[in-house]
């Protein structure tokens, strides 16, 4: 009996890992302070709740903020009941290039949260969110995303 249980658990874990490995996404956001490109990969399905993964991106901010690179952890596909919309939250580090006045260069921390959904019936989707960055402050954005 013990052997069959172990095989069942192993098979279920293998199926879970293989399905999570295929979850990739990438997109572009128009933000109140510039543009942002992002890509991510799911690492672990959290049963009933969401999907945990990593996300990174490049941003170009208007004004004095310059360019940025960010990488962080994300919890996405958080099901919002009675809707076809999901929520996401991310947190991580960002590196900002030197600007004219040097006020926002160097390492910073960011936290982002928002909602996402599908456009029509394919892999194309939308997302809208708010980001707080220790170097550039608060910004909002809306964009498109492709999910694999």
Residue 84 and residue 115: Cα distance in Å, rounded?
10
In angstroms, the Cα distances linking 39 to 54, 102, 118 are: 9, 28, 17
pLDDT, residue 99, reads 65
In angstroms, what is the C-alpha Rg of the chain?
18
The whole model's pTM is what?
0.78
Residue 114 and residue 120: Cα distance in Å, rounded?
20
**Domain parsing of the chain, residue ranges:** 24-147
* Those residues with Cβ within 8 angstroms of residue 102's Cβ, 6 or more apart along the chain or in another chain: none
CATH for the stretch 24-147:
2.40.160
CA 39 to the chain's CA centroid: 7
Return per-residue pLDDT of the chain as tens, 148 residues. 555 555 454 444 434 443 333 489 999 999 998 999 999 999 998 888 889 999 999 998 876 668 999 999 999 989 898 888 999 999 999 998 866 666 668 899 999 999 999 888 778 999 999 999 998 889 999 999 998 8
């Amino acid at each position: 009996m013990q052997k069959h249980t172990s095989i069942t658990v192993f098979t279920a874990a293998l199926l879970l890992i293989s399905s999570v490995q295929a979850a990739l996404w990438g997109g572009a956001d128009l933000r109140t302070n510039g543009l942002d490109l992002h890509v991510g990969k799911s690492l672990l399905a959290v049963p009933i709740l969401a999907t945990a993964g990593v996300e990174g991106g490049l941003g170009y901010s208007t004004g004095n903020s310059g360019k940025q690179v960010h990488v962080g952890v994300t919890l996405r596909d958080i099901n919002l009941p009675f809707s076809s919309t999901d929520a996401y939250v991310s947190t991580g580090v960002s590196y900002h290039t030197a600007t004219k006045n040097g006020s926002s260069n160097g390492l910073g921390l960011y936290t982002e949260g928002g909602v996402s959904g599908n456009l029509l019936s394919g892999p194309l989707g939308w997302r809208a969110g708010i980001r707080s960055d220790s170097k550039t402050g608060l910004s909002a954005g809306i964009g498109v995303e492709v999910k694999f």
